[in-house]
Amino acid sequence: MTDSSAGQLLSELNSAGLKVQPGEKHRMPVIVFVGAHMESHAPFLHLIRCGYRICGLVTLDPASLQKMSGAVDLVSTAEAARIPVLRVSNVNEPSCVAWIREKEPDLLLVVGWTRLVKDELLRVPKVACLGFHASLLPKYRGRAPVNWAIIRGETMTGNTMILLEPEADTGDIVAQKNIEITDEDDCRTIYEKVALTEVDMLEEVLPLIQQGVVPRRKQDDSQATVMPKRRPEDGRIDWRRSTRDVCNWVRALTQPYPGAFSVLDRQKVWIWAARGDRRPLIRGNDKPGDVTKDTEGWPLVATGDGWIRILEAQCEGGPKLSGREAGETFLFAGGSFEEATEAL
């Protein structure tokens, strides 16, 4: 953030009656914020604007940020509000635990952090260690819950505030919000909705904590589902699946994630945006993965039961292009994507 941007944020805070000065006393609770994913920026900014005393930000170091899909750098926002910052690769490092302990926080608030917080750090806050998981727990425990929900064709997901435990996503539920998944949503828009629900839940829960109440209810472990970690190489498209499944696959993995891809003429091609096309599939002349074009020049690819129209694509080593541009450069009619070696 530039000096002028930092000044703008401070001006905004001051105009709201929130005088942010070094050492100023704010109301309870005192918070250390841990975050690095895009979903963490809105709640972090909300806490600043509402005048909560954030005594420290822990975020990823630059090298670790580059490896995270959907990463966001919160440092400039923290510096504008004069919040001390610690960049780490591992929040459980002894030096990081000691830094947080010195702040004597009432709450450790973990938002958009992909690694488990271990027991030593969980014992540091005076009141609680709170985190969020982007699903309606106990459903979709584990990794990439938003991506998996879209892949599986869910029309409803959610976000859950929990009391963190050493195990992943098993803590007591503090608050929970539903999130609708529409046909126009992709992983980015759902995470934007996730961030808004985090703001809503903080608005509900923090006043209760100030009154000495931490709402909580046990998860029903019998209803739990646990999703595996996703890797960039897991994004390969299986064109034998239905049009609906392939479209879900594309929108679940699009940017800021590594993307859905296939191989055409020995080159890797990422499909960043697509939608279903209702024209009939002529089985005698085409097979899943075959490329053709519509009358307007948009590339179409055959699926197991129809076609998808390619709206945005990128060939390995090239720029991201609109579907029409891709149809003029590498998605030629008559080509055929290679068959996936494994089913989705």
Please state, for a pLDDT cut of 90, what percent of the chain lies above it: 82
> What's the pLDDT score for residue 281?
63
Most confidently modeled of 17-26, 175-184, 206-215? 175-184
Q: What is the mean pLDDT of residues 111-138?
A: 95
- Written as one string, the DSSP assignment of 168-193 is TT-SPEEEEEEEE--TT--HHHHHHH
pLDDT grade for 27, boundaries at 50, 70 and 90: low
Q: Select the more confidently predicted residue: 58 or 340.
A: 58
Lowest mean pLDDT among 121-125, 243-247, 271-275, 284-288: 284-288
Residue 27 is classified by DSSP as: P
Per-residue model confidence as pLDDT tens digits over 6-26? 445 445 444 433 333 333 333
pLDDT grade for 28, boundaries at 50, 70 and 90: low
Residue 114 has pLDDT above 90, yes or no: no
> What's the pLDDT score for residue 284?
62
Here the tokens at position 222 are 């019998």
Residue 190 has pLDDT above 70, yes or no: yes
> What's the pLDDT score for residue 10?
44
Closest CA to 247 of 335, 324, 333, 310: 310
Apex CA 172: angle with CA 169 and CA 175, to 5°? 95
> What's the pLDDT score for residue 277?
85
- How far is it, in rounded angstroms, from Cα 330 to Cα 264? 9
Residue 310 has pLDDT above 90, yes or no: yes
Question: Which region, left, alpha or beta, applies to residue 203 given φ > 0 means left and ψ of -120 to 50 means alpha?
Answer: alpha
pLDDT grade for 341, boundaries at 50, 70 and 90: low
- How far is it, in rounded angstroms, from Cα 37 to Cα 200? 18
Here the tokens at position 214 are 């931490």
> What's the pLDDT score for residue 39?
94
Q: What is the mean pLDDT of residues 85-92?
A: 96
> What's the pLDDT score for residue 232?
87
Q: In order of start, what are the domains of the chain with their CATH numbers? A: 3-226 (3.40.50.170), 232-329 (3.10.25.10)
Per-residue model confidence as pLDDT tens digits over 214-259? 999 999 999 999 999 888 889 999 999 999 999 999 999 999 999 9
> What's the pLDDT score for residue 285?
74
**β-strand 30-35 against 53-60: which pairing, if any?**
parallel
Closest CA to 54 of 76, 27, 72: 27
Per-residue model confidence as pLDDT tens digits over 91-108? 999 999 999 999 999 999
Q: How far is CA 5 from the centre of its chain?
A: 25
Average pLDDT, the chain: 89
Q: How far is CA 184 from the centre of its chain?
A: 17
Write down the pTM of the prediction.
0.86
